[in-house]
Amino acid sequence: MAHIVVIGAGLGGLPAAYELRHVLPRQHQVTLISNQPKFTFVPSLPWVGLGLRSLDRIQLELAKIVPQHGIEFIHDSVTAIDPRSRQIALKERILKYDYVVIATGPELAVDALPGLGPENGYTQSVCNPHHAVLACEAWQQFLQDPGPIVVGAAPGASCFGPAYEFALLASHTLRQKGLRDQVPITIVTPEPYAGHLGIGGMANSRWLIRAMLADRHVDVIDNVAISHIESDRIYLSDDRSVPFKYAMILPPFRGPSFLREAPGLTDAKGFVPVLPTYRHPDFDSVYAVGVITQLKPIENTPIPIGVPKVGQMTEEMVITVTHNIALDLGVVSGPPIRPTLQAICFADFGDTGALFLADPLLPDQEGRRHRAFTTKGMWVSWMKTGFEKYFMDKMRTGWTMPWFERLGLRMLGLPLVEPLPVDSALDVSRPKILS
């Protein structure tokens, strides 16, 4: 009997636990550890931050839904992991494992800039439930005495979609309330150009985003780093500054401290290097999925930024890891598989929306992708709302990816995974631990 432990119960961890339980015979034990009592559908947090969605609508009690599917649930914080002895330290116990799937999601590096973050700084974020609630409280106060808004990202940030979504949703909401003329909105981003998204080469995204921002009178300052933040002003590296009454600035991500402190497990920022199979290159018992995986930046940019890891990519990683663990255990046969890593992002802007697709996220050596485009329309907003309900129902009932979802993606020409050639299953060009 093997014991498989999944650390983290977010968009990667909870589906991973369900998928493992579905694929593996019952003699194998699956345990899910989370330092949070609830699952949160993170893509909807910009709505929460602007008071457009209640937090309880996008959360599920893990202790109620997980055990009924034959998965042990532990609500506790991991304090240390030793991949050599295959042990995980919790606050009051030690857990042994045969395989571990690291799906913690990110820790927010709000200490990256002076004045960043809601607790010890002057800015809001919508990257976790607590911050989204604080952002909503600050937003309600802002509406009583409006002024300039600044939305953007700190240097080193990797997920830029929520910034554009928040800025345009704020513009739409203020217009509905008759306050838009009182509120100048500025986006400040380290991307080399607005619409780069940490991906680059996204066909028309640069021009479409620029046009949408211009139509809504949202100013853009791109290719610039925020140096520090004071109570009513954001200072930039080129000696400019921007005043604000309300600011939502996305912080950089890093891995939790227990990962960063495990010798040889992660890079300096706490991200886990992986082979094409999503197994760690040095520890055969360690796999990783989601934001915590290490992906090298697609291109060099004047200001360093990270690579986004969206939900679609995470689901591909989950299927890959589950299959390859099952292959190790002799439950399935055939070659190992790897994810195709397509990036699909739905963004709601209130009166319209935008769909971004990069297939695959990582271009080939000539910088080419099969497809890369951005399109817009109100239908995108409807699709995001529908997908929220669908995904919440899936997590509530414990579905794995059902056949009709896989079929639909294939019909769109989006295979989730592909087999690895036998001679590359243990790829000799193993990823280096990046500093």
Structural Rg of the chain based on CA atoms = 21
Tell me if 172 sits within 8 A of 205, measured CB to CB: no
Tell me if 159 sits within 8 A of 308, measured CB to CB: yes
Which residue out of 159, 183, 265, 420 is catalytically annotated? 159
Greatest extent of the chain over all pairs of C-alpha atoms, in Å: 65
Tell me if 284 sits within 8 A of 266, measured CB to CB: no
136 is catalytic: no
* 3-class secondary structure, 60: strand
345 is catalytic: yes
Q: Is the dihedral of CA 215, 251, 102, 68 positive or negative?
A: negative
- For 44-78, letters b (16+ CB in 10 Å) and e give bbbbbbbebbebeebbbebeebbeebebebbeeeb
Report how far Cα 368 is from the mean position of its chain's Cα atoms.
24
Tell me if 209 sits within 8 A of 225, measured CB to CB: no
* Assigned token pair, 231: 């109570």
Cα–Cα distance between 49 and 122 in angstroms, integer?
Answer: 15
Tell me if 44 sits within 8 A of 58, measured CB to CB: yes
Which residue out of 345, 347, 358, 420 is catalytically annotated? 345
Annotated catalytic sites, by residue?
159, 345
